[in-house]
């Protein structure tokens, strides 16, 4: 199984070196799941590209183990300023078990929407209708570089983003559609199973994750107590066409996950299981199928749920912040046991 790990530090300054180490350590906690390549995406900004511009998002990927990716990153120290500090930053990381396409750089996640990496995604699962989506996107001028089903996702997101802005001018505002709305519109075109995490240069400092059939857990770390340990889930309408208006969203008032008091510093961790999070925080939220969780520009977490005809009317309408009791040493023992069993 593929492994997902992402990290967002909101008003909690971290150097690029610290961010990358957190991402790599998260991947190491997920190695027991099995994989054949690994990669991360972090903010660029100060890193030059061959075209003379500066990279907004940097992809660092490598076939093989996380140790090989570490070597790749270490070799880039002359290019990357590891001391550069980010007050707010989103980084995503992935270990891939090849299903569509052999293990190599271009097939390794994160997958990107275009050469400028406007949208990047990591994915655990299989998209069963990716050929239909790919054919649709090719007709609209998109060129594909990988053999993966995952590449269709950020490319579809870019198509929807570009189309939405052409049809609905923002009238002076920065965006006429939120990152979370854009992800919802994208994943409602997908068939199959997935856990997904998204990063975009159009929405710096924001992250959106979603799950359907593949596990995903969120860890929250704050200096002060959280304002709530249970908050309601909003519902959004189901859509089946590639292009629909964001006005179709069905929403109500909500509370967001935020700290009490004047301290706004927050750190979020997103992973395939809690073993990758517990060394940072023991406060976790387990997402359910059709949940879409987003951290927006205020640093607060909200969770939406896509409403469809298959919804169970008895399913919980809120998500609870759970205190995980598992100790890191116990997690290490479990991982060692799994590795030992695999060698038998």
Residues classed as catalytic:
2
Cβ atoms of 208 and 179 within 8 Å: the answer is: yes
What is the longest distance spanned by two Cα atoms in the chain?
63
Rounded to the nearest angstrom, the gap between the alpha carbon of residue 254 and the centroid of all alpha carbons in its chain is: 22
Neighbours of 85 (CB within 10 A): 13
Residue burial 289-311, b: 16+ Cβ < 10 Å; e: rest: bbbbbbbbeebbbbbbbbeeeee
Distance CA 184, CA 178 (A): 10
On the CB side of 122, CA atoms within 13 Å amount to: 35
Cα–Cα dist 42/76, whole Å: 13
**Both tokens assigned to 267:** 């750190």
Q: Could you give the C-alpha distances from 325 to 226, 329, 337, in angstroms and in order?
A: 18, 12, 20
User: Quick check: 308 and 65 in contact, CB under 8 A?
Assistant: no
- Reading the block at residue 1, the tokens are 């199984």
Distance CA 218, CA 284 (A): 5
First to last CA, the chain: 19
């Amino acid at each position: 199984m593929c492994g997902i790990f992402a990290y967002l530090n909101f008003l909690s300054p971290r150097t690029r070196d610290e961010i990358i180490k957190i991402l790599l350590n998260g991947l190491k906690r997920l190695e027991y799941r099995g994989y054949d390549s690994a990669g991360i995406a972090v903010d660029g900004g100060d890193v030059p590209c061959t075209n003379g511009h500066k990279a907004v998002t940097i992809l660092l990927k490598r076939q093989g183990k996380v140790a090989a990716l570490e070597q790749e990153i270490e070799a880039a120290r002359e290019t990357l300023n590891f001391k550069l500090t980010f007050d707010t930053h989103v980084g995503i990381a992935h270990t891939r078990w090849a299903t569509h396409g052999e293990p190599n750089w271009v097939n390794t996640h994160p997958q990107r929407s275009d050469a400028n990496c406007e949208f990047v995604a990591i994915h655990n699962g299989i998209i069963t209708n990716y050929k239909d989506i790919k054919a649709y996107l090719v007709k609209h001028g998109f060129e594909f570089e990988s053999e993966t089903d995952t590449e269709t996702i950020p490319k579809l997101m870019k198509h929807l983003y570009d189309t939405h802005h052409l049809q609905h001018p923002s009238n002076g505002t920065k965006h006429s559609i939120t990152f979370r709305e854009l992800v919802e519109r994208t994943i409602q075109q997908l068939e199959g199973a997935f856990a997904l995490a998204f990063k975009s240069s159009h929405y710096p400092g924001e992250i959106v994750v979603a799950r359907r059939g593949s596990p995903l857990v969120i860890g929250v770390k704050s200096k002060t107590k959280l304002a709530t340990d249970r908050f309601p889930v909003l519902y959004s309408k189901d859509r089946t066409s590639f292009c629909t208006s964001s006005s179709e969203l069905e929403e109500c008032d909500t509370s967001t996950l935020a700290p009490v008091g004047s301290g706004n510093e927050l750190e979020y961790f997103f992973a395939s299981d809690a073993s990758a999070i517990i060394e940072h925080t023991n406060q976790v939220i387990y997402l359910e199928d059709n949940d879409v969780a987003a951290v927006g520009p205020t640093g607060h977490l909200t969770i939406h749920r896509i409403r469809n005809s298959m919804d169970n009317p008895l399913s919980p309408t809120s998500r609870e912040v759970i205190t995980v009791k598992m100790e890191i040493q116990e997690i290490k023992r479990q991982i060692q046991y799994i590795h030992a069993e695999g060698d038998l």
